[in-house]
Amino acid sequence: GQNIDQPTEMTATEGAIVQINCTYQTSGFNGLFWYQQHAGEAPTFLSYNVLDGLEEKGRFSSFLSRSKGYSYLLLKELQMKDSASYLCAVNRGSTLGRLYFGRGTQLTVWP
Amino acid sequence: DAGVIQSPRHEVTEMGQEVTLRCKPISGHNSLFWYRQTMMRGLELLIYFNNNVPIDDSGMPEDRFSAKMPNASFSTLKIQPSEPRDSAVYFCASSLGTGTENTEAFFGQGTRLTVV
């Protein structure tokens, strides 16, 4: 089975740094994705990790530890427009992967 | 490219009616996914196709749900008969995934289905 856990809600202020954690237990693993979803819109891709370590992309970074079944998304220099739901998704692998999504973390950025 | 295109954006229908959702993937993508999103269950994969062939439909909830991909540029998800519990946002996504490579999935804007 697949269990993907992330906090339901988080709040932070503009300019701050926030870390959104994701833990997973899955049979088969072939990478972890982070997506951003604004209310009423489609999820959009943020990052992908398949090896342990940190991937940095501008203000956003994502970390993976496969042995611990753990990932986090780090958002720096928060802006109001970063208020959104952040979805952690695990690719199970096999010939073609399928994504199992967590329930998402609703981030609210205050001025 | 215009991205993944879904229609309709909104659909309100009465219980028992047939509903057909449509999706046009990004040109050149060979994998297509149908997801359903609800507050209670989050984002769930219903079915995915590779090169127009259904690979895994284990997420399809019941026989009332069916999906087809007659060609590389078009897919449908049909619910017959529809029930109020089918109310959700249905997303179509496509990716250029080959073999064991992982490439990001691009999502359409979704169809918000309300069954009354």
Cβ contacts from A onto B, under 8 A: 53
CB–CB contact B100 A30 (8 Å): yes
Q: Which two tokens stand for residue A61?
A: 């970074």
**What confidence score (pLDDT) does residue A100 get?**
87
CA distance A53 to A65: 7
Give percent above pLDDT 90 in chain A: 80
CB–CB contact A96 B107 (8 Å): no
Report whether pLDDT(A93) > 70. Answer: no
Mean pLDDT, chain B, integer: 92
**B39: nearest CA in chain A?**
A103
Contact A15, A40 (CB under 8 A): no
Report whether pLDDT(B114) > 90. Answer: yes
Instruction: Please report which confidence band the pLDDT of residue A95 belongs to, taking 50, 70 and 90 as the band edges.
Output: very low
pLDDT tens by residue, B59-87: 898 899 999 999 999 999 999 999 999 99
* Spatial CB neighbours of A88, under 8 Å, sequence gap ≥ 6: A4, A6, A20, A22, A24, A32, A33, A34, A71, A73, A101, A102, A105
Average pLDDT of the segment spanning B95-107: 72
Report whether pLDDT(A1) > 50. Answer: no
pLDDT tens by residue, A15-65: 999 999 999 998 778 889 999 999 999 999 999 998 999 999 899 999 999
**What confidence score (pLDDT) does residue A94 get?**
57
CA distance B83 to B64: 9
CA distance B28 to B31: 9
Amino acid at B96: L
Q: How far is A30 from chain B (nearest CA, A)?
A: 8
CB–CB contact B43 A31 (8 Å): no
Question: In B, what residues contact A, Cβ < 8 A?
Answer: 31, 33, 42-45, 48, 50, 55-56, 91, 97, 99-100, 102, 104-110
Q: Using a CB-CB distance cutoff of 8 angstroms, which residues of chain B are in contact with residue A33?
A: 104
Closest partner residue to A48 (CB to CB) among B91, B104, B107 is B104
